[in-house]
Amino acid sequence: MSLSELPLSYCTNVHPGPSVSELEAGLDKYTLNVRRELRGKLAAGLWLAEPVVREILSTPDGLARFADSLARRDLPCYTLNAFPYGNFHAQRVKEQVYLPDWSHPKRLDYTENCARILAQLLPPNTDGSISTVPLGFKGFQHPPDFLDRCIDQIITCARTFDQIRVQTGRMIRLAIEPEPLCILETTGEAVEFFKRLYEKAEAEVAVAVVWEHVGVCYDVCHQAVEFEDVAASIRQLEEADVRINKVHISCAIQVDRPAQDATARAALRKYIEPRYLHQTLARNSDGTIARAIDLNDDLLDRPSPEFAAAPVWRVHFHVPVDAERLGPLATTRPALSEALRAVSKLEYSPHLEVETYTWEVLPGAEKADLVGGLARELRATEQLLGEIENQNRS
């Protein structure tokens, strides 16, 4: 039982990469300089948008040249983020990031192509992981057979991943990432979905392949925003035989006593921005949870009774993982420590990746030089992981 010994990565969805040349420019401008700051090993946690995947696979020797470019930079890659399909740095992303959903053939094709690329990038004797959307967004309309269509495509994807394993010797696992207000948002919903997935896979004589190749990406920010006990959540997944293939090391915003603290509300208003969706949840004294699709002025100025009465709000805004406070605002960093301690007790080692994709849209007072900010996050994470390992050995 131990945490992953692979070098840490941060997800490169934090900087634009709409083409191979721009992706590689980002690695040179940011990733290599972060590694210099750290003075140690750093992996490339790559986000490959669909146009980049298409360019790599349609260009003669494109995959070989891309793999060589990473090797020349001494950037090992064992995990991909295949959640954002298109331009994650568009002026407005919001709920469009969940499209295409897992009922659509484009999502399957894109994910399978990501696996074909990752199979060529993986270091020897290393498994790979690919994080993906939590099926779809609850705010969209879905047909009655939506879940069945998603399940069919995920089973097909698992079979493709198994074919890649047979052909290349490289094990790659899909990591479905629950997120607030998505089809899979709570741990309970994830467990119920996997039960249904396993039942369908068993009927198709594919349950072993599905179990081996499909699990979750546990984004700590997301489950903290849901007000879940993250250690209990991880145990629940383990007891349900749902493998955690990847952990996103991430933190959310917490607002204590929002109705009474005008300073905190004013600080929170600065996090309203037009690009990403910031689902906001409020827990009331009786344990009930209210949900708002996005952080906006209406929520702050005219909150519903459930929000107005709640003693604590949490906001899906990925903030630097080394921050315990952001001025008058708290963060969910304590949940991060709890989650990593629980992960360290597992019988296997999920991939670990820092994912703070919001540096570009942080308020001015919190925005830092990207290289310096990422380096601080990674140092703080390495320190936390070291403390956990030492405690486990004592």
Q: Do the domain assignments include residue 376?
A: yes
Give strand pairing partners of 244.
216
- Number of compact structural domains in the chain: 1
Whether 64 shows a pLDDT value over 90: the answer reads yes
CATH of the domain at 195: 3.20.20.150
SS3 state of residue 216: strand
pLDDT in tens, 331-351: 999 999 999 999 999 999 999
Per-residue DSSP letter, 132: E
Residue 1: per-residue pLDDT: 60
Q: Do the domain assignments include residue 173?
A: yes
Structural domain harbouring 137:
9-250+332-393
C-alpha–C-alpha distance, residues 363 and 42, integer Å: 28
Q: Do the domain assignments include residue 308?
A: no
Q: Do the domain assignments include residue 270?
A: no
Which of 73, 65, 78, 74 lies closest to 11 in space, CA to CA? 78
C-alpha–C-alpha distance, residues 37 and 117, integer Å: 29
Tell me the mean pLDDT in the region 37-59.
97
Residue 292: per-residue pLDDT: 98
Q: Do the domain assignments include residue 296?
A: no
Task: Please tell me the number of Cα atoms within 13 Å of 39 on its side-chain side.
Answer: 0
- What does pLDDT average to over the chain? 97
Q: Transcribe 15-36 into DSSP letters.
A: S--SSHHHHHHHIIIIIHHHHH
Q: Do the domain assignments include residue 283?
A: no
Q: Do the domain assignments include residue 202?
A: yes
Which of 223, 136, 212, 217 lies closest to 176 in space, CA to CA? 217
Q: Do the domain assignments include residue 81?
A: yes
Whether 96 shows a pLDDT value over 80: the answer reads yes
Least confident window among 47-56, 281-290, 356-365: 356-365
